[in-house]
């Protein structure tokens, strides 16, 4: 019950801002659907195919702008983590350190609440926020499918869209878990710096691993970005490893949260 109370308290303070942000993202995704026109993207698809491999890797291995799934992959899901990710990295990395720096954690921990419940309450708040943002964004895409004449609903693979938004949510939770880990033992600025540094490392290793010498390409398995590759599903409709990747990201988040709780429990915070 203490975890639920802590989470609800955190959400109550920021629910208005969360809903406004979610609406903005939903409208942004809806507006983006108006851009899709397969006839206009034919020449652009050929142009993208001629780009260097590094650029192609950023938008996915399979470029198919004339299909709705390919359009979503290149223009949304190849960068959607960026739209959401930086927000959650900043929020999760500074949440607990700010409480400690401002001495408000002293009041909270002096009450009959265990430290692990405090950490989990903070964490769940960010997870719920991520779910709300992803839900509104997916709603914007679904409304756009039926609202704009350039999109033919019968040609849209809705099960793939649902799966990729779920995948995106799980990936965002992994980003949150990474920042949460650093927030449990570092000051706000250092926690933010280390969070960004690790995420950038993950991005480079997970996206550009094929450009590395073969001897070190195995580092790709260390990166959470390697497990968020939507191209094959949205373009080729191949479900290979989708569930496995989601489970790996979930396991990663669970491990990082467990380490965060362990470290925070051991930390010396006199109350």
Kindly write down the DSSP assignment for every residue of 33-85, as one continuous string.
HTT--TTTSHHHHHHHHTS-HHHHHHH-S---TTSHHHHHIIIIITTHHHHHH
**Rounded CA separation 185/264 (Å):** 7
Query: What is the residue range of 152's domain?
Result: 2-266
Residuewise pLDDT in 10s, the chain (271 residues) = 555 665 666 666 678 888 999 999 999 999 989 888 877 666 665 566 666 665 555 555 556 667 888 888 887 888 887 888 888 999 899 888 888 877 776 666 666 678 888 889 889 989 999 999 999 999 999 999 999 998 989 989 999 999 999 999 999 999 999 999 999 999 889 999 999 999 999 999 998 888 888 889 999 999 999 999 888 899 888 999 999 999 999 999 999 999 999 999 888 765 5
User: Is residue 271 in some structural domain?
Assistant: no
At 217 the three-state DSSP class reads: helix
Number of domains in the chain: 1
Question: Cα 191 to chain center, whole Å?
Answer: 18
* pTM for the structure as a whole: 0.86
Q: Which residue has the tokens 């965060």?
A: 260
- 217 in any annotated domain: yes
Query: What's the rounded Cα separation, in Å, for the pair 195 and 126?
Result: 15
| pLDDT on residue 250 | 97
* Average pLDDT taken over every residue of the chain: 85
The reported pLDDT for the residue numbered 109 is 61
> What's the rounded Cα separation, in Å, for the pair 140 and 47?
28
Maximum pairwise Cα distance, the chain: 65
């Amino acid at each position: 019950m203490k975890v639920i109370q802590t989470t609800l308290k955190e959400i109550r303070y920021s629910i208005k801002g969360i809903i406004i942000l979610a609406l903005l993202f939903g409208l942004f995704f809806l507006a983006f659907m108006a851009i899709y026109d397969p006839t206009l993207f034919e020449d652009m698809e050929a142009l993208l195919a001629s780009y260097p491999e590094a650029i192609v890797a950023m938008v996915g291995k399979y470029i198919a702008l004339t299909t709705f799934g390919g359009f979503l992959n290149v223009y949304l899901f190849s960068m959607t983590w960026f739209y959401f990710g930086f927000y959650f990295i900043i929020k999760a990395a500074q949440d607990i350190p700010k409480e400690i720096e401002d001495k408000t954690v002293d009041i909270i921990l002096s009450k009959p609440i265990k430290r692990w419940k405090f950490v989990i309450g903070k964490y769940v708040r960010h997870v719920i926020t991520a779910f709300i943002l992803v839900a509104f964004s997916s709603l914007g895409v679904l409304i756009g499918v039926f609202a704009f004449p350039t999109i033919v609903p019968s040609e849209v693979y809705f099960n793939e869209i649902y799966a990729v938004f779920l995948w995106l949510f799980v990936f965002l939770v992994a980003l949150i878990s990474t920042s949460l880990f650093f927030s449990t033992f570092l000051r706000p600025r250092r926690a933010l710096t280390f969070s960004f540094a690790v995420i950038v490392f993950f991005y480079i290793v997970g996206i550009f691993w094929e450009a590395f010498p073969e001897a070190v390409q195995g580092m790709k398995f260390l990166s959470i970005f390697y497990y968020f590759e939507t191209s094959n599903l949205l373009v080729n409709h191949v479900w290979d490893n989708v569930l496995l990747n989601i489970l790996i990201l979930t396991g990663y988040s669970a491990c990082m949260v467990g380490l965060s709780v362990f470290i925070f429990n051991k930390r010396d915070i006199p109350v």
